[in-house]
Amino acid sequence: MPITSLAFVGDAYFTLYARLKVLNTEAKSGKFHTKAIRLVNAHAQSEFLDRIKPSLSEEEEDLIRRARNTHTSSKSKNAGLADYKKSTAFEALLGFLFLTKNEKRIDELLNLIMSEEKL
């Protein structure tokens, strides 16, 4: 499957994950979107990739490398190219793990990321 398709699925997965995560916080409904946006943006996802990088398998590292090097025709409005490419790689990894039904691994990686996040 093309990297861009994996990233498309991973973006949807992580957006839903982030929205569900902020529902468990002590916020008013108007603040949910603001909290979710702090997680679902190129800069944050680039940092998330940096956090999980030491725990990635060789296969996951290869996927990340391919995703970062994939040419995309779109650009981020609010992020630099490096953050955009790393966030695409993060999303592609999530998309790959989701489509291969590796929910246990997704949970491990997202728990690692969220253990350092304050919502």
Cα separation of the two ends of the chain: 34
- C-alpha torsion sign, points 53, 107, 18, 73: positive
How far is CA 27 from each of CA 23, 45, 54, 114, 119, rounded to the nearest angstrom?
A: 8, 22, 33, 18, 9
Domains of the chain: 3-22+29-114 (1.10.1520.10)
Catalytic residues: 11
Crossing angle of the two packed helices 103-114 and 81-99, in degrees rounded to 10: 140
pLDDT per residue over 13-67, tens digit each? 999 999 998 888 877 777 888 888 889 999 999 999 999 999 999 999 999 999 9
The reported pTM is 0.89
